[in-house]
Amino acid sequence: MKELVEYMVKSLVENPDQVEVREIDGTRSVIFEVRVAQEDMGRVIGKGGRVANAMRTLLRVAAIRQGKRAILEIV
Amino acid sequence: MEERRSVEASGNSIEEATEKALAELGASREEVEIQILSQGGRRFLGLGTQEARVRGTLRPPEPQEEVALVAKEVLERLLAGMDIEARVSLRPPDLPEGPNPIVLDITGQNLGILIGRRGETLRALQFITRLIVNRRLHQWAEIVVDVEGYKKRRERSLTQLARRMADRAILLGQAVSLEPMPPHERRIIHLALRDHEKVTTESVGEGDLRKVVIFPRGHTAP
């Protein structure tokens, strides 16, 4: 799951070296905290949150495969 | 493509040198750019002959091909990240000439999870694939992602639904509204009934709640 998040985010930003993904594991859910360069915020969130929501949808599939719930936060 | 292979070859004639260059590159004449380095023939003062020499360079793939290759690779990465085992193939274009979108078909077992409720997951997959590809190639290409022919099936059932609901609107003599749908699905409904003699269609509502309403002709939108 973390790999998927990193791949998507790094592919969408202008500064992939400034991408940080932190994984916080719980028993039933897992949280991914994504940090990107200030100027890349818009690229990972998108108009009306469209990009972030599409990434969440794909992440949900990966999570279901592992019997978990995944939360993606852009901080 | 980052790699651009190039070789030099020589022979008794330009043709022969070209043949050798193509053989070495393992490519056909169309795929290679041939640059003549030396015509060959008799040397100055007639002292022996000089060999013909050419440089053959593989042409970069056609832009469309390049986009398709990148798109396939991106989609495969996404699927692997989602822990989905499936095959991605490039659908041959519908029209031999003219602009065709790049269509990637995903096939495999139990791929319902990739479609999601009302195709939501498939839409997200197509959106992210398109975004990554276009971001990487600095262009805007139309890329369509389909799973097990879902889109064709959905289009057919939406067209049937449109006709059924049109009949109902005529029978009842009143407007019939369909359930909320994303833009491209509403478009299929509008197109299906565009030339209908007895009904007109219109989209009403905002955002995720936007839906098509079918009006018997003579009635007007509220």
| A54-71 pLDDT, tens digit each | 999 999 999 998 899 999
Query: Strand order in B87-90's β-sheet?
Result: B87-90, B102-107, B143-147
Q: Which two tokens stand for residue A1?
A: 């799951």
CA distances from B138 to A11, A38, B25, B26, B30 (A): 12, 21, 29, 30, 27
* Residue-level pLDDT at B218: 77
By mean pLDDT, which of B1-5, B138-142, B199-203, B207-211 is the weakest? B1-5
**Minimal CA–CA distance to B197: which of B172, B176, B169?**
B169
Q: Which two tokens stand for residue B195?
A: 């030339």
CA distances from B129 to A23, B8, B171 (A): 24, 39, 44
Whether the predicted pLDDT of B191 surpasses 60: yes
With H, G, I as helix, E, B as strand and everything else as coil, classify residue A40: helix
Region B199-205: what's the mean pLDDT? 95
Min Cα–Cα distance to chain A from B118, Å: 13
Interface contact B81-A7, CB threshold 8 A: yes
Confidence of residue B128 (pLDDT cuts 50, 70, 90): very high
Interface contact A61-B132, CB threshold 8 A: no
Q: Which two tokens stand for residue A73?
A: 């936060």
Confidence of residue B3 (pLDDT cuts 50, 70, 90): low
Helices B120-137 & A50-65 angle (0-180, nearest 10): 120
CA atoms within 13 A on the CB side of B62: 5
pLDDT, tens digit, 9 for 90 and up, residues B168-182: 999 999 999 999 998
Query: Is residue B175 within 8 Å of residue B211, measured between CB atoms?
Result: no
Terminal CA-CA length for chain B: 55
DSSP B100: -
Whether the predicted pLDDT of B52 surpasses 60: yes
Region B97-106: what's the mean pLDDT? 82
With H, G, I as helix, E, B as strand and everything else as coil, classify residue B10: strand
Confidence of residue B1 (pLDDT cuts 50, 70, 90): very low
* Residue-level pLDDT at B182: 87
- Substitution target in A4, A47, A61 with the highest count of B β-carbons within 10 Å is A61
* Residue-level pLDDT at B26: 84
Region B135-162: what's the mean pLDDT? 90
* Residue-level pLDDT at B118: 81
Averaged pLDDT of chain B: 88
Q: Which residues contact B146 (CB under 8 A, 6 or more apart)?
A: B91, B103, B104, B105, B106, B122, B152
Confidence of residue B46 (pLDDT cuts 50, 70, 90): low
Q: Is the CB of B74 inside 8 Å of chain A's CB atoms? A: yes
CA distances from B198 to B115, B117, B171, B215 (A): 35, 32, 11, 9
With H, G, I as helix, E, B as strand and everything else as coil, classify residue A23: strand
Averaged pLDDT of chain A: 95
The residue in chain A having the minimum alpha-carbon distance to the alpha carbon of residue B133 is A11
pTM of the model: 0.71
Comparing CB atoms, the residue among A55, A62, A66 nearest residue B128 is A55
| Cα torsion angle, B149, B155, B156, B158, sign | positive
In B187-221, which positions are buried (b, 16+ CB within 10 angstroms) versus exposed (e)?
Answer: ebbbebbeebeebbbbbeeeeeeebbbbbbeeeee
Region A30-53: what's the mean pLDDT? 95
- Measured CA to CA, the distance from residue A48 to residue B93 in angstroms comes to 33
pLDDT, tens digit, 9 for 90 and up, residues A10-27: 999 999 999 999 999 998
Q: Which residues of B touch A60 (CB under 8 A)?
A: 121
Whether the predicted pLDDT of B2 surpasses 50: no
